[in-house]
Amino acid sequence: MYQFIIYKIAQLLSLFLPLKAGYAIAAFLARCQFYFSRKDRKMVSDNLKAVLDTRDEAAIRKVAKEVFVNFAKYLVDFFRFSKLTKEYIAKNVKLIGRDNLDAAIKRKKGVILLTAHIGNYELGGAAVSLLGYTFNAVALDHKNKLVNNFFIRQRQTANINVIPLGMALKRCYACLKRGEALALLGDRDFLNHGLKMKFFGKDSLIPKGTAVLSLRTAASIIPTFFIRMPDDTFELTFERPITYSATGGTDEDTQLIMKKGIEVMERYIKRYPSQWYMFRNFWA
* CA 215/CA 109 separation, integer angstroms: 11
Q: What are phi and psi of 195, to 5 degrees?
A: -110, 145
Most distant CA pair in the chain, distance: 56
Per-residue pLDDT for 248 more than 90? no
* CA 241/CA 42 separation, integer angstroms: 36
Query: CB–CB of 146/101 below 8 Å?
Result: no
Per-residue pLDDT for 166 more than 80? no
Provide the pLDDT for residue 55: 87
Q: How confident is the model at residue 141 (pLDDT cuts 50, 70, 90)?
A: confident
Residues found in the chain: 284
* CA 211/CA 261 separation, integer angstroms: 9
Per-residue pLDDT for 190 more than 90? no
Q: Tell me which DSSP letter residue 158 carries.
A: T
* CA 176/CA 271 separation, integer angstroms: 31
Q: What does pTM read for this prediction?
A: 0.95
Q: Report the C-alpha dihedral over residues 174, 179, 183, 187, rounded to 10 degrees.
A: 90
Provide the pLDDT for residue 116: 97
Average pLDDT over residues 103-126: 97
DSSP assignment of 91-144 equals HHEEEESHHHHHHHHHTTS-EEEEE-SBS-HHHHHHHHHHTT--EEEEEPPPSS
